[in-house]
Amino acid sequence: MLYQANHFEGVRHATRQDHLLPVERVEYPVAPYELWALAAIFLVAVPTIVGLWWLS
């Protein structure tokens, strides 16, 4: 229980310190994981389509 209390206190402390950071967070219209998903789809789909077209 003590660990849990200290853990949450640490989380609160980190969030409080968060506002003092000089670097502002930039909100992107597309989340990074969505960009990675798009990149993965293109990296798989494009060679597959080109390969199938080349073989046909």
Give the pLDDT confidence score for residue 34 in this predicted structure.
82
CA atoms of 12 and 18, how far apart (whole Å): 10
- pLDDT at residue 11 tops 70: no
CA atoms of 46 and 40, how far apart (whole Å): 10
**CA gyration radius for the chain?**
22
Alpha helices in the chain (DSSP H): 2-18, 32-55
Give the pLDDT confidence score for residue 35 in this predicted structure.
85
* Structure-token pair, residue 45: 């789909």
Return the higher-pLDDT residue of 4 and 56: 56
pTM over 0.75: no
pLDDT tens, residue by residue, 12-56: 555 555 556 566 666 666 667 888 889 999 999 999 999 999 998
Handedness of CA 13, 19, 21, 24 (dihedral sign): positive
